[in-house]
Structure 1
Amino acid sequence: MSPVLRRLAVALPAVLFALVAGAAPAWAHTELESSSPAANSQVGTAPTSVSLTFSEEIAAADATVSVTGPDGTDHAAGSATGEGATLTVPLRPLGAAGTYTVTYRVVSDDGHPVSGTVPFTLTSPGPGAAATTPAPAAAAPTAAAPETAPQTIPAAADDGGAPVWPWVVLAVVVIGAGAVFALRRSRA
């Protein structure tokens, strides 16, 4: 085998691996990178909007965002608007102090839906608190009915699509085996 063919047999798998590995991020689902208010933050002043920033551009038309207060009311005042990778949702005046949960569902560039939640705590009542009637106090838990802990929802949940890495490994193995076979055949 000529030296040129040997170099080609060695370089070809490396070049193909670099091409496949470089394309892998394009196959990945989007991820939530940041939010305002930040996940699990303590906010003293009620925000007038919520912003979510993702790892890729998101079509606002395909996004659903709600902001649920401690009383179960949705405080989103309209649909999400987007600029690049950031979605913004206007809010009606927030009410009682407590935990608010931003729930989102967006569609990645590859067409897969991605959803998750971002909780934040309002530490002081918002301007909407004056307009609402206070709810009656909850009865204290009794020994017969123990209080249950709230469930925690992960900050970002994926739809569980198939991972890409096994295909990348398989391609590298097949290309490497082909190069070894070609080298052995040329020596024979």
Structure 2
Amino acid sequence: MTGLRASVAGVVAALLVVLTTLLAGPASAHSTLVSSDPANGSSVASGPSSVTLTFNEALQDAYDALTVVGPDNRYWQSDEKARVEGPRITVGLRPLGPVGEYRINYRVTSADGHPVSGQVRFTLTTAGTGTPGAEATASSSDNGGVTWWPYAVGVVVVVALGGGAFLLRRRTAGV
């Protein structure tokens, strides 16, 4: 029985470590958005020629994405690739078109290698004459930075540990 209690205690300890890891908040070492141009929530009468996001630390120039989706659900960033320069990421814009809210969706790579994503919004108050790009895809909207896979791995680990403890208990009970 003592061996069984030690095994169950080990499984419980492992389970607590897994749950603590999965439920922990994001590490503060990741990049944090400091400002945007245009500013988040601002209203502009004419469209800017580019958008720039500034973070609290230098970014890696890897796997970055910066898109601007208008109220017509079409892309308004230029065809050029976003440029990362130190803590800033910039992309050019086409001349804007319809009045309404424009969403700047971003994904950048922190100095520590972790991806950070989010969204900034601004409103165009006077219609422009620009021509949009392609229709935005479903993946262009921000999910608030929530990643599902750690939770799926956690469920698998919890089920595996519970199943292992159950089998160990049955085996030591002689069933």
Band the TM-score falls in, shorter-chain normalisation: 0.5 to 0.7
Is the 8 Å Cα contact of residues 105 and 118 (structure 2) preserved in structure 1? yes
2:95 is aligned with 1:93: yes
Task: Say if 2:50 is the partner of 1:49.
Answer: yes
Q: Deviations over 1:1-32 (max 9, x none)?
A: xxxxxxxxxxxxxxxxxxxxxxxxx9610011
Give me the TM-score of the superposition, normalised by structure 1. 0.54
Code of the residue aligned with 1:74 in structure 2: it is Y
Q: In structure 2, which of residues 118, 121, 130 is the aligned counterpart of residue 119 of structure 1?
A: 121
Amino acid at match of 2:91: V
**What residue is the counterpart of 1:147 in the other structure?**
none
Q: Give the equivalent residue in structure 1 for 2:34.
A: 33
The residue aligned with 2:164 is none
The aligned residue for residue 66 of structure 2 is 65
Greater Rg by CA:
1
Q: Which of structure 1's runs of 4+ aligned residues deviate more than 6 A?
A: none
Deviates more, 1:107-116 or 1:28-37: 107-116
Task: Give 1:120 deviation, angstroms.
Answer: 0.4
1:102 and 2:104 are equivalent in the alignment? yes
Overall identity of the aligned pairs, in %? 46
Say which SS state the counterpart of residue 127 (structure 1) adopts: coil
Larger % of strand: which? 2
Mapped to 2, the partners of 1:123 and 1:96 lie a distance apart of 9
Contact 2:44 2:124 in 1 (8 A): yes
Task: Output one character per residue of 1:90-144: Cα deviation in whole Å (capped at 9) or x when no partner.
Answer: 011110110000000011112211100001000001231xx58xxxxxxxxxxxx
Residue type of the alignment partner of 1:31:
T
Is the 8 Å Cα contact of residues 76 and 94 (structure 2) preserved in structure 1? yes
Instruction: After TM superposition, list the pairs within 5 Å mapping 1:167-178 onto structure 2.
Output: none
Q: Is the 8 A contact 1:104 1:117 kept in 2?
A: yes
Q: Which runs of 5+ in 1 are unaligned?
A: 1-25, 133-152, 163-188
Matched residue count: 115
Where structure 2 has 5 or more consecutive residues not aligned to the other structure, the ranges are: 1-26, 133-141, 151-175
Contact preservation (8 Å) 1:105, 1:116:
yes
**Aligned-pair RMSD on alpha carbons?**
2.8
TM-score, normalization: structure 2?
A: 0.58
Question: Structure 2 CA distance, aligned partners of 1:158 and 1:106?
Answer: 15
Cα gap change, 1:76 to 1:47, in 2 (>3 Å): same
Displacement, 1:158? 6.5
How far is the alpha carbon of 1:159 from its aligned partner?
5.4
